[in-house]
Amino acid sequence: MEKKGSILMGKYDLGRLLGQGTFAKVYYGRLLKTGQSVAIKVIDKEKVLKAGLIDQTKREISVMGLVKHKNIMQLYEVMATKTKIYFVMEYAKGGELFHKVAKGRLNEDSAQKYFQQLIIAVGFCHSRGVYHRDLKPENLLLDENGDLKVSDFGLSALTESKRQDGLLHTACGTPAYIAPEVISRKGYDGSKSDIWSCGVILFVLLAGRLPFYDSNLMEMYKKISKADYKFPNWFPPDVQRLLSRILDPNPYTRISIAKIMQNSWFRKGLKTRQSRTKAEDAEKISLDFGSNSGSSGNDIPTDTKLEVAKPTNLNAFDIISLSTGFDLSGLFVDNDQKDEVQFTSTKPAAAIISKLEDIAGNLKLKVKKKDQGFMRLEGSSEGTNGTLFIDVEIYEITSSFHLVEVKKSSGDSIDYQKMLRQDIRPALREIVWAWQGEQQQDH
């Protein structure tokens, strides 16, 4: 049971309840070391299991590890106990964009600003092979500066989710915001369906109402399928032209993100806002666990390509078992990894590699191979089952937080286990934050 004012994992002061759903509660939190505000999403593991939402939870973690951008809600850390999973996330002080629209339509300048930030964030997601699939004002949060943050990736899909036809087939999302091709259930392009939802959002921001609405769901779907809507008379002509290209019921002729970014109305005031935001960002102090690492996405792409270097993509089990050393293998994978151990470290990758090289030298192990994030250590003599080879892989979660996997690739298991227990683990103590699989007190 989470209690206001309790200390979570020795790192966070757990504060007031911000909101709750069927399977999770979100609390305000504060990082004890710096006083930085965070939001802590507490997921009931048993409820998730019973509801069959393991895949959705794993996907949300995997996706949020891929999309690091100033206009996307950041996942800083994942922790777990026997009964709970904790997402430590960026705190959006301004709340949902929905609450602003609920008070009435926005002026053109405000709507344009939020739409620009939305398109840039969604374009970044698509460049990483991530499709949100549930874009709506309730999933768009605002930070203390009033800047937009895309959140809630629980229904998102990755490129590998596509079938052989290259399309997605799971019909999901919020009825009023989903694209016609999603309704038809014949397969759809995740990027084009997200673009449609962005168009509905822009309409809502400027009109204060939905473009497609009917108390009868089937009638509303008919309107969506035909793109049957009317512009309010206060919509500027250039906005009407852009929305007509976004709310095109034919996904093949619907405008792309790249073309939206080239649109004259979209670009109006963009450079001024971008310069101001960069100046503000320079004054911010980042969280001590490296929240600003990796591709920040601060530079707004102006050409048709949205390419970024992809980091090592951890599987969901790797990510969800980070940070605390809790063994969640019973929930996500078969626990049959006797010759493999994992630990997390707050040291930079260079320091981890240096330490491993020192250990190899002391144990007379040769560094047989060393690539970015990978090392292979070779034993100096033949064992019972041949020469011992130990592979080490380092996965970057943030610039100051890494998951390290140590496993025997060949050789005698008994020799390896003895060396691991008596020599390697003790020598690693100064750089290890937590070993995966070691139990800690439940919270």
CATH of the domain at 159: 1.10.510.10
Short-list 175, 196, 178, CA closest to 254? 196
Residue 41 labeled ligand binder: yes
Query: What pLDDT, on a 0 to 100 scale, did the predictor assign at position 25?
Result: 86
Please tell me whether residues 102 and 77 are part of one structural domain: no
> Helix 237-246 crosses helix 190-207 at what angle (to 10 degrees)?
150
Short-list 409, 400, 404, 416, CA closest to 321? 404
Tell which of 38, 60, 91 closes a domain: 91
63 near 156, Cβ under 8 Å? yes
**Is residue 307 domain-resident?**
no
Please tell me whether residues 370 and 242 are part of one structural domain: no
Please tell me whether residues 75 and 196 are part of one structural domain: no
Please tell me whether residues 19 and 108 are part of one structural domain: no
Please tell me whether residues 77 and 156 are part of one structural domain: no
Query: What pLDDT, on a 0 to 100 scale, did the predictor assign at position 205?
Result: 96
Query: What pLDDT, on a 0 to 100 scale, did the predictor assign at position 395?
Result: 75
Contacts of 388 (CB under 8 A, 6+ apart): 378, 379, 408, 410, 411, 412, 415, 416, 419
- If 0-12 CB within 10 Å is exposed, 13-18 middle and 19+ buried, where does residue 93 land? middle
Catalytic residue at 143? no
**Is residue 332 domain-resident?**
no
**How many C-beta atoms lie closer than 10 Å to residue 113's C-beta?**
18
Q: Which of 13, 134, 194, 248 is catalytic?
A: 134
Contacts of 334 (CB under 8 A, 6+ apart): none
Please tell me whether residues 264 and 189 are part of one structural domain: yes
Please tell me whether residues 171 and 264 are part of one structural domain: yes
pTM for the structure as a whole: 0.61
CATH of the domain at 43: 3.30.200.20
Short-list 32, 76, 68, 27, CA closest to 346? 76
Domain range for residue 397? 337-435
**How many C-beta atoms lie closer than 10 Å to residue 49's C-beta?**
12
Query: What pLDDT, on a 0 to 100 scale, did the predictor assign at position 310?
Result: 28
Please tell me whether residues 53 and 121 are part of one structural domain: no
DSSP string, 47-72: HHHHHT-HHHHHHHHHHHHH---TTB
Question: Each residue's pLDDT tens digit in the chain (443 positions)?
Answer: 565 568 888 889 999 998 876 678 889 999 999 999 999 989 888 887 777 777 777 777 777 777 888 999 888 888 888 888 888 989 988 888 988 888 889 999 999 999 999 999 999 988 888 888 889 998 899 999 999 999 887 666 655 566 666 666 666 667 889 999 888 777 888 899 999 999 999 999 999 999 998 888 888 889 999 999 999 999 999 999 999 999 999 999 999 999 999 999 999 888 666 666 555 554 443 333 333 333 333 332 322 222 222 233 333 333 333 333 333 333 333 333 357 788 878 788 888 888 999 999 999 899 887 776 788 999 877 766 788 899 998 876 555 567 788 888 888 888 888 898 899 999 998 888 777 654 333 33
CATH of the domain at 415: 3.30.310.80
